[in-house]
């Protein structure tokens, strides 16, 4: 199979791949043995799931895992991938870059995985993706860092199911400048993901006639934040906060204690409250503030049937918490990326007629050929456009306001709001 023939087959278009998925849905009524009877091999498709089971990303890892399990179950109930069952192989990377590279190597050499998948924290992506490229292991990240789309990684690394920080902040900045204020103090984690916010939001707000008057970088392992708040300049009109990790609840509580009732406007990326119950004592001061959400945590009045289906399958209630435990709040703004990326891997493998590692190049070329991804059960967050040159997906963003203990969507950006000029063309790079 030559690469040119692979990318020119009708099935490699996104619409063609989705038709294949829809046709395969009827297989869910067949007994398990019959669903895989036509496969050339009974061997499963092995997807290595790089999980942040421990470390500062553990809350995300837990929900990324649940989302991945739900999508894999549905894919298998519908006949698997190319008639073969999907197997998720889990390894904990400790949210650590060095361990991340070791996990990638285990996927390729020990577990004989077909692809690697699932990494979120950008410093772990930076530590892992180069090894995936060296091992020629297709590596599907579910992160938000801009390092891939900026040309900093390699052709074996793709981010089709999650938007990146540069696209997010570019779409957010006009709302912040028009509705909240133009003199902004930024509070962000001191590693690659936070640096993306620092750099790209600064550019975006300046393009709206605003300015960043202070940039406060917080070590990701920090447990107390009171020493940072006095550094916020008096002229600040908006505090832009995007914190991550187990201390996020402490961060927002201490910010409330410092400012009391007279605070600047607040614009937070929901990362500062992911896996946190918004009704927790001490968070009352957040009422009336705004947040970016990748996917709205609370089911909205105009909830799509796709969001409803996705919540039911993953086990999440209308408030974004586990159906089994209302205190177990999900990382709803991010974890959809695992669901959508698994379906993209499936569509790519079916478009490329993937049979094994010898077809990895064809798989990457098939995904590079994708463009439109319609709003659907496979893409419950919203329609997307994939840029095969930069290996980056683009989709809608949501700005919500916290009112009465609920996040209510105030503004939804268009996909076009998130576009920026290409900075790399991975399709010109050799395999």
Indicate whether 322 belongs to any domain. Answer: no
DSSP one-letter code for 48: E
My answer on whether 144 and 176 are in the same domain is: no
Residue 328 lies in a domain: no
Residues 6+ apart with CB under 8 A from 16: 10, 351
Are both 126 and 231 inside the same structural domain?
A: no
Q: Are residue 127 and residue 190 in the same domain, yes or no?
A: no
Regarding whether 406 and 386 lie in a shared domain, the answer is: no
- In this predicted structure, the answer to whether residue 6 has a pLDDT above a threshold of 60 is no
Average of pLDDT values for 280-300?
94
* Cα–Cα dist 351/340, whole Å: 16
Helices (H) and strands (E) in the chain, counts: 12, 17
Gap between the terminal Cα atoms of the chain: 15
Whether residue 38 is predicted with pLDDT greater than 60 in this model: the reply is no
pLDDT at 64 over 70: yes
Domain of 183, CATH number, reads 3.40.50.2300
Statement to judge: residues 9 and 32 lie in one domain:
yes
pLDDT at residue 147 above 50? yes
Q: Is the same domain home to 233 and 256?
A: yes
Residues 281 and 405 in one domain: yes
Instruction: Using the structure block, give the residue that is written with the tokens 């949210």.
Output: 95
Is 230 a member of any domain? Answer: yes
Q: Are residues 253 and 341 in the same domain?
A: no
- Count: domains in the chain: 2
- Asked if residue 123 is part of any domain, the answer here is yes
Residue range 15-20: average pLDDT? Answer: 44
Determine, yes or no, domain membership for 429: no
337/408 same-domain check:
no
Q: Are 195 and 220 in contact (CB under 8 A)?
A: no
CA distances from 20 to 73, 208, 213, 288 (A): 18, 44, 52, 45
Domain that holds residue 193: 165-302+397-417
Stretch 359-373: mean pLDDT, rounded?
98
Residue 22 has pLDDT above 90, yes or no: no
CA–CA gap between residue 310 and residue 317 (Å, rounded): 10
The predicted model gives 46-70 an average pLDDT of 97
Return the closest-CA partner of residue 431 out of 138, 214, 189.
138
User: Residues 40, 119: one domain?
Assistant: yes
Whether residues 154 and 211 fall in one domain: no
DSSP 3-state assignment of 255?
helix
pLDDT by residue (tens digit) across 321-364?
999 999 999 999 999 999 999 999 999 999 999 999 999 999 99
Cα 371 from Cα 280, distance rounded (Å): 41
Mean pLDDT of all residues in the chain?
91
Does a structural domain hold residue 77?
Answer: yes
Same domain, 52 and 91: yes
Give the span between the Cα atoms of 256 and 258, in whole angstroms.
5
Burial profile 302-335: b = 16 or more Cβ within 10 angstroms, e = fewer: eebebbeebbebbbbbebbbbeeeeebbbbbbbb
Task: Give the three-class secondary structure for 180.
Answer: coil
Instruction: Report the half-sphere exposure of 391 (CA within 13 A, side-chain side).
Output: 30
């Amino acid at each position: 199979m030559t690469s040119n023939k692979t990318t020119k087959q009708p099935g490699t278009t996104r619409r063609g791949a989705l038709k294949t998925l829809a046709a395969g849905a009827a297989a869910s009524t067949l007994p398990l043995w019959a669903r895989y009877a036509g496969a050339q091999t009974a061997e499963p498709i092995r997807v290595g799931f790089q999980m942040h089971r421990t470390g500062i990303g553990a809350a995300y890892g837990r929900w990324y895992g649940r989302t991945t399990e739900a999508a894999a179950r549905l894919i298998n109930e519908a006949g698997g991938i190319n008639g073969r069952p999907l197997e998720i192989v889990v390894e904990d990377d400790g949210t650590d870059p060095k361990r991340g590279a070791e996990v990638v190597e285990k996927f390729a050499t020990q577990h004989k995985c077909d692809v690697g998948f699932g990494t979120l924290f950008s410093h772990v992506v930076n530590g892992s993706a180069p090894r995936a490229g060296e091992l020629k292991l297709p590596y599907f990240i579910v992160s938000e860092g801009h390092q891939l789309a900026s040309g900093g990684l390699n052709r074996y690394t793709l981010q089709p199911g999650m938007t990146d920080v540069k696209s997010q902040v570019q779409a957010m900045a006009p709302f912040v400048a028009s509705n909240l204020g133009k003199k902004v103090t930024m509070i962000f984690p001191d590693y690659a993901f936070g640096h993306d916010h620092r750099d790209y939001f600064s550019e975006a707000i300046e393009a709206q006639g605003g300015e960043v008057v202070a940039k406060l970088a917080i070590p990701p392992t920090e447990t107390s934040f009171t020493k940072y708040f006095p550094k916020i300049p008096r002229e600040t009109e908006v505090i832009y906060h995007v914190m991550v990790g187990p201390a996020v609840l402490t961060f927002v509580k201490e910010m409330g204690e410092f400012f009391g009732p007279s605070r600047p406007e607040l614009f937070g990326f929901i990362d500062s409250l992911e896996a946190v119950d918004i009704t927790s004592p001490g968070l009352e001061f957040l009422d009336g503030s705004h947040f970016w959400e990748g996917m709205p945590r609370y089911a909205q009045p105009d909830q799509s049937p796709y969001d409803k289906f996705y919540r039911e399958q993953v086990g999440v209630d209308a408030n974004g918490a586990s159906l089994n435990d209302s205190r177990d709040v999900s990382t709803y703004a991010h974890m959809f990326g695992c669901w959508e990326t698994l379906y993209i891997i499936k569509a790519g493998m079916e478009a490329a007629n993937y049979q094994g590692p010898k077809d990895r190049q064809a798989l990457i070329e098939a995904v590079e050929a994708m463009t439109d991804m319609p709003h659907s059960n496979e893409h419950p967050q919203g329609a997307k456009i994939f840029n095969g040159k930069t290996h980056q997906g683009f989709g809608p963003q949501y700005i919500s306001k916290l009112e009465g203990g609920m996040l209510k969507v105030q503004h939804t950006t268009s996909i076009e709001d998130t576009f920026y000029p290409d900075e790399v063309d991975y399709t010109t790079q050799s395999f």
